[in-house]
Amino acid sequence: MNKPLKQHLIDPEICIRCYTCEMTCPVEAITHDDNNVVVDAEKCDFCMDCIPVCPTGSIDEWRVVETPYSLDEQFEWQELPAQADIGESSGVEALDDAMAALLAEAHAGAGGKSKAPASAAKPSVNLYNLGKPATARVTGNFRLTSGESGSDVRHIILDFGAQPFPVLEGQSIGIIPPGTDKDGKAHLPRLYSVSSPRDGERPNFNNLSLTVKREEQGLCSNYVCDLKIGDEIKVTGPFGATFLMPEDPSARLLMVCTGTGSAPFRAFTMRRQRSKAGGSGDLTMFFGARTPDSLPYFGPLGKVPEKLLKKHLVFSRQPGQPKEYVQHRMMAEQDAVADLLADPRTHIYICGLRGMEQGVEEAFRSISESTGQAWEATRDAMRDEGRYHVETY
């Protein structure tokens, strides 16, 4: 009999098919088909390089097995199989503990597998894949930032016609850029967060919006930002099963973002604005950009009543003013942040530049400690309860 082994796996329900792990793995143990991203047990040497780069924690999975799951088996999975009962083997617990320790170390105390809010609606995931993408028609492409700002951020509207394409706020979709790479292979899809609510950019239309920044040399962002009305594009997804909003109308949302990281928060805010339920949960946003004319949706945001959304718009390059980041404003508003941190109804969402994560955590730590709370314990408990969500890139 084989002795039990630990096998590193990816949760196909939570994975958003960004392929970052596959690009990071130094031994090419991670691969994909049209359906799933999977780990080859024969090649994986548990170096853990793929762990911290995964934006969802879908890669924080393993099973103790007697015979490793093959690639073909993993390609077929819609969900991860439960840990099989492999009998009275004394090695299993030790293997489990060893893997948990490796993961904790790889995350260096941060990150980790996120959970959906307890009251979130059940999302549809992976309805369309590389082999069978949906076709969407472009019905809008508006520039959100001024020409002088040097930043070109677009509001893109996609219509799915008769194809079902259900999305929840906080989910992403993939866009497949046309053409092939230098090896003649089709390009992999690039992921974009949906910035409209579940009932459509226009209520009760089968459409959605994206917030896309043109990146210099960006293959897909230039393709998307140059799309014309009527163009047809290939779409995969929807993806993401944890960065979702609670349905509970008394849940309080604290949203921290930079630039296009604001996309899901536009969706959250519109969802709350459109739902008739009412409720006591407030929305607070800390939103950082270089200047007002490079802050996506600056004009429309101004029209959202403070009663619905408490807005802290923070600018780092305003002429004549000191550089300010979101974490600086959180410190300036520490009483309000402390009040949110102390409330079990609060959900925290962080979305945008990877670089801001550390500064934002430092602000949370300092504010927590000023009220006698240990930040790590608070954060880990919130994450466990599906109340702490990070999506940075």
Chain contacts with ligand A2P (rule: CB under 6 A): 151, 258-259, 288-290, 294, 316-317, 325-327, 353, 355-356, 359
CA distances from 233 to 156, 224, 324 (A): 12, 9, 38
In contact, 303 and 269? CB cutoff 8 Å: no
- Distance (Å, rounded) from C-alpha 74 to C-alpha 81? 10
Tokens of 89: 């083997």
Q: Is the CB of 6 or the CB of 389 nearer to ligand A2P?
A: 389
Measured at CB, which residue is nearest to ligand A2P? 259
Q: CB 308 → ligand A2P: shortest distance, Å?
A: 24
- As measured in angstroms, the least distance from the Cβ of 353 to ligand A2P is 5
**DSSP character for 228?**
-
DSSP of 135-164: EEEEEEEEE-S-GGGT--EEEEEEE-TTS-
CB of 367 to ligand A2P, least distance (A): 16
Query: Cα dist. 174→2, 18, 275 in Å?
Result: 40, 8, 27
The total of other beta-carbon atoms located within 10 Å of residue 255's CB is: 24
Nearest CB to ligand A2P, comparing residues 164 and 355:
355
- Please state the closest distance from residue 328 (CB atom) to ligand A2P, in A: 8
Name residues whose C-beta falls within 8 Å of residue 39's C-beta, 6 or more positions apart in sequence: 7, 8, 9, 10, 29, 30, 74
Q: Which is nearer to ligand A2P, 278 or 322 (CB)?
A: 322
Residue type, 20: T
Nearer to ligand A2P, 126 or 291 (CB): 291
DSSP 69: P
To ligand A2P, the closest distance from the beta carbon of 364 in angstroms equals 13
Task: Indicate the residue among 268 and 325 with the shorter CB distance to ligand A2P.
Answer: 325
Instruction: Give the shortest CB-336-to-ligand A2P separation in angstroms.
Output: 19
For residue 294 the two structure tokens come to 């490079």
Comparison of 325 and 388: residue with beta carbon closer to ligand A2P: 325
Between 43 and 143, whose beta carbon lies closer to ligand A2P? 143
Q: How far is the CB of 302 from ligand A2P (least distance, A)?
A: 18
